[in-house]
Structure 1
Amino acid sequence: MKLSLCNEVLHPLPFDRQCAMAAAYGYAGLELAPFTLADDPQTLDAAAARRFRTTAQDHGLAISSLHWLLVKPDGLSLVSMDATVRQKTVSLLKRLIDVAAVCGAAVLVHGSPKQRSPLPGQSLADAVERLHDALAELAPHAAAAGVVYCLEPLSPAETPVINTVAQAAAMVDRIGSPAVRTMLDVSAASQAESAPVHQVLAHYLASGHIAHVQLNDKNRRGPGQGDTPQQPVLQVLKAAGYTGWMAVEPFDYQPDGPGCAEFSARHVKAIWSALS
């Protein structure tokens, strides 16, 4: 298995310390949130990306992926009716695609609920279409960089735009690029899907839509820190011969970031080892 830790769990520790701790807990990679790497992610460049990659490698880790792409700077939106705002947001995402490629990351995860939600006076349908158009513009850039850009389905509590894997898969199919796919976050899927999460995962793994998985609990804590069963999800991944990354992404760190990261790794690895 390829288990990664979302690095904001260990933020604001220095990046080298994050790497050392993640390696000590048994992770093979880090999933990077750009807002943890620079006050303004627009300043990230190839030189910075090479430093992150080298530091991770020095600790035996890979950079698996990027996520939480649009936390900073303020005022970004892919669905704004202001073309200047939309283009500024797309330009940052193109920069982050390039950073991901230099880091050696295979995937970018596009969640960013605020930056894709309808603005006052805007219809849901208009926001969905503008998100589609932005992803379609990003597709050739991601393809040229050799990375996969994943549209993340999020819970209705976060955004009304793309809540289920089926909705994400439909948009991926409309774009029609192998560089744009979707992914599954266990917590979000537990809140948004009508079918059991592992069944949704099995279906869209088989169809080729899913390129990444994030592990957590419906209660937004780490895997194993709530009532959401992780074993069926991991069983599907193992049975399918899934070779992509599984990233631990809690939002509520209990008892704290390091404690949550350590517990989550132990829990997931114990389940995986017990699977046939």
Structure 2
Amino acid sequence: MQITLCNEVLRPMTLTEQCAFARDVGYDGLEVAPFTLAEDPTRMTAGEIADARRTVEDHGLVVSSLHWLTMAPAGLDLTALDAQAVARTREALIRLVDLAAGLGAGVIVHGSPAQRRLGSEPERQRAVAMAHFEAAARRAGEHGIAYCLEAINRKECNFLNTIAEADAMIAEIGAPALKLMLDVCHAAQEEEESLAALATRYIREGMLAHIQLNAANRRGPGEGTSPDGPDAIAPLLRALMDGDYRGALAMEPFEYVPDGPACAARAVGYVRGVLDGLDGNAG
């Protein structure tokens, strides 16, 4: 399993500085938030995309995935009903899929809770969102990329709060490239089943394509309020190992304590330590 870092944790470092730091503390790659690459990442040229990929690969890293898709440019909204907003969002999603392909990413995570909330016409808005997902997933499939729907806790978003809801929407849309991902922070708050049970089921069904590690209190993995709480990652990692999960483990803290670089360094050390311990126990 690759261990990657959500690169916004290292802002305001340049991409070159992010890569050097991530490599030196033990990461295999980056999960890139497009807004960190350009003010409007949907307008990056082929040359700019190639340069970004080269920077990552020259440091011995990979771009595992993209996330926080609709943060930039401003005005994107998955559930907006205005025709211009629909067209602009659709075009941006297609371009972001192409950006992922250009960077060599195999996974796209669609979270972005602030840009996907239901309002006064939830059924119409849900239908518009599904059409966006279908179009983006069709393009992702052309590139061989998994387009993952992220379940977000209900405090931040009122649309797709559980993995089961995301799974049901994927079945309704029917696009093969649509997959599931599991974010520890959100799942620990919303799911009735354990992280390990969820991972085991969706690996078995061939639907789990990505993992984001953090804690229910929005800090890094292992920094939750209880060592055996619902956000404890050792049982999850054991389930992933037992299920022969081949995707990435992306570190995605939301609160950086004491700061981004220190949080990132602690996270990779902690997760590698847990994995080493599980390997030792298995032997």
Q: TM-score, normalised by structure 2?
A: 0.94
Match in the other structure for 1:122: 121
Match in the other structure for 1:273: 276
Match in the other structure for 1:253: 256
Match in the other structure for 1:102: 102
Once the two structures are TM-superposed, the CA of residue 89 in structure 1 deviates from its matched residue by 0.8
Aligned residue for 2:272, secondary structure, equals: helix
* Aligned-pair identity (%): 43
Confirm or deny: 8 A CA contact 2:116 2:159 kept in the other structure.
Answer: yes
Once the two structures are TM-superposed, the CA of residue 122 in structure 1 deviates from its matched residue by 2.2
Confirm or deny: 8 A CA contact 2:6 2:252 kept in the other structure.
Answer: yes
Once the two structures are TM-superposed, the CA of residue 202 in structure 1 deviates from its matched residue by 1.4
Match in the other structure for 1:236: 239
Is 1:79 the counterpart of 2:79? The answer is: yes
Aligned residue for 2:114, secondary structure, equals: coil
Match in the other structure for 2:156: 158
Once the two structures are TM-superposed, the CA of residue 129 in structure 1 deviates from its matched residue by 2.3
For residues 166 and 208 of structure 1, the distance between their equivalents in structure 2, rounded to whole angstroms, comes to: 14
Aligned residue for 2:221, secondary structure, equals: coil
CA displacement 1:144-195 (0-9 Å, x = unmatched): 1221111111100111100111111111112222211111000000111111
Aligned residue for 2:148, secondary structure, equals: strand
Aligned residue for 2:69, secondary structure, equals: coil
Bigger mean CA offset, 231-240 vs 110-119: 110-119
Confirm or deny: 8 A CA contact 1:46 1:98 kept in the other structure.
Answer: no
CA displacement 1:224-268 (0-9 Å, x = unmatched): 112331101111111111111110000000110000000000000
CA displacement 1:108-156 (0-9 Å, x = unmatched): 100011221023x222x33322211211122221111221111111100
CA RMSD across the alignment: 1.1
Bigger mean CA offset, 22-31 vs 40-49: 40-49
Once the two structures are TM-superposed, the CA of residue 200 in structure 1 deviates from its matched residue by 1.4
Confirm or deny: 8 A CA contact 2:42 2:99 kept in the other structure.
Answer: no
Aligned residue for 1:114, secondary structure, equals: helix
Once the two structures are TM-superposed, the CA of residue 93 in structure 1 deviates from its matched residue by 1.0
Aligned residue for 1:70, secondary structure, equals: helix
For residues 25 and 184 of structure 1, the distance between their equivalents in structure 2, rounded to whole angstroms, comes to: 24
180, 183, 186: which is aligned to 1:185? 183
Match in the other structure for 1:39: 39
Is 1:135 the counterpart of 2:138? The answer is: no
Letter in 1 for 2:253: P
Question: How many residues are paired up?
Answer: 274
Aligned residue for 2:212, secondary structure, equals: strand
Confirm or deny: 8 A CA contact 1:106 1:148 kept in the other structure.
Answer: yes
For residues 160 and 126 of structure 1, the distance between their equivalents in structure 2, rounded to whole angstroms, comes to: 15
Letter in 1 for 2:217: N
Confirm or deny: 8 A CA contact 2:134 2:173 kept in the other structure.
Answer: yes
Confirm or deny: 8 A CA contact 1:110 1:149 kept in the other structure.
Answer: yes
Confirm or deny: 8 A CA contact 1:45 1:99 kept in the other structure.
Answer: no
Once the two structures are TM-superposed, the CA of residue 223 in structure 1 deviates from its matched residue by 0.4
CA displacement 1:35-85 (0-9 Å, x = unmatched): 111112222232222111111111110011100011122221121111210
For residues 23 and 141 of structure 2, the distance between their equivalents in structure 1, rounded to whole angstroms, comes to: 30
For residues 277 and 125 of structure 2, the distance between their equivalents in structure 1, rounded to whole angstroms, comes to: 44
Q: In structure 2, list runs of 5 or more residues that go unmatched.
A: none
